[in-house]
Amino acid sequence: MVKVFNIGDIVEMKKQHPCGSKNWEIIRVGADIKIKCCTCSRIVMLERGKFEKDVKKMIEEKLD
């Protein structure tokens, strides 16, 4: 999935979080991407390449 990601976007990841959620909010964008689980608020940091591979789809794009 090639796309521009922005802080505040909600994405669905391929892998389900142990809490049962697949939706994550992007909270930092850079060489690494930081995402926060929408259900349990757990924060995870992923290398950008890995993140892009693991994203399934955009759920909600932040509009400004």
Q: By CB under 5 A, name the binding residues for Zn ion.
A: 17, 19, 21, 37, 39-40, 42
Give me the least distance between CB of 23 and Zn ion, in Å please. Answer: 9
Q: What letter does residue 3 receive in the DSSP assignment?
A: -
64 Cβ contact partners less than 8 Å away, ≥ 6 residues apart = none
Helix residue ranges per DSSP H, 1-64: 48-54
Q: Which is nearer to Zn ion, 6 or 39 (CB)?
A: 39
Give me the least distance between CB of 20 and Zn ion, in Å please. Answer: 7
Give me the least distance between CB of 2 and Zn ion, in Å please. Answer: 26
Please give the structure tokens belonging to residue 7. 């802080």
